[in-house]
Amino acid sequence: MQVMGLDRFLFRKEILIDDSGWGDLILGVVIGALKLPDRRYMERRIPVSSFQSPSFENKQYLDDAAKIAEEIVEVMRPDRETQFKVCSGYVLSSIRKHLRDRGFSVKKVEITGELQDMVERGYIRWCVEVGVSPERLEDKRRFWALLEWVAEKPKIREELVKTGWKSWHRKWREKAFKTKLQ
């Protein structure tokens, strides 16, 4: 006889939240939310400008994420029985805080599966919208492919780069502007 714990039934309503693009060289971050059990999905973008000076140093992306959290609440209309399961990524820390401050149950988790795939596809769509070929985006570890893409037209494409990163100025900018990448 198998015993099922009551905790399997306490949170029948969940909203899962994940992000994509945090470690990628270009654009900002896509944040996606999936409401269960009805499977409603929404995604929003934190713009690349939040990852460029002076916004990056001021952590504008955290404020942007908190605004997205509020929009998730407005759109998905959770009640007090809804549990939010939010990926553990740093960019989502302000979402977790914002939701807790609003009185919601929030659990920090690792998101895998369907939502992770949906948010990843959202980031890839954004890359394609700005001109990156889908073939360059096939590998999940796409830093070099994106650096090569920027290096093809650095004066034009640098505006799409997370230039607030210290490593961009210390190392990668020079490679993109002076070196033909191989």
Provide the CATH number for the domain around residue 93.
3.30.420
> CB–CB of 126/53 below 8 Å?
no
- Which run of H or of E encompasses 167? helix 166-167
70 assigned to some structural domain? yes
What integer pLDDT is reported at residue 3 of this predicted model? 41
From the list 165, 154, 130, 152, the residue with the least C-alpha distance to 24 is: 165
19 assigned to some structural domain? yes
Structural domain harbouring 71? 8-132
Mean pLDDT for the stretch of residues 31-45: 93
What integer pLDDT is reported at residue 141 of this predicted model? 78
124 assigned to some structural domain? yes
141 assigned to some structural domain? no
23 assigned to some structural domain? yes
Q: Find the range with the poorest average confidence among 7-16, 94-103, 108-117.
A: 7-16
Q: Find the range with the poorest average confidence among 22-31, 77-86, 106-115, 173-182.
A: 173-182
pTM recorded for the entire structure:
0.86
Angle at 23 between CA 22 and CA 28, to 5 degrees: 40
Angle at 118 between CA 76 and CA 77, to 5 degrees: 5
59 assigned to some structural domain? yes
Domain count, the chain: 1
40 assigned to some structural domain? yes
Angle at 29 between CA 23 and CA 30, to 5 degrees: 125
pLDDT bucket at 38, cuts 50 / 70 / 90 = confident
105 assigned to some structural domain? yes
Angle at 117 between CA 7 and CA 51, to 5 degrees: 105
Mean pLDDT for the stretch of residues 77-94: 92
pLDDT tens digits, one per residue of 122-173: 999 999 999 999 988 887 778 889 999 999 999 999 999 999 988 898 888 8
Spatial neighbors of 182 by CB under 8 A, at least 6 apart, are none
Cβ burial of 37 (10 Å; 0-12, 13-18, 19+) is exposed
From the list 132, 123, 169, the residue with the least C-alpha distance to 153 is: 132
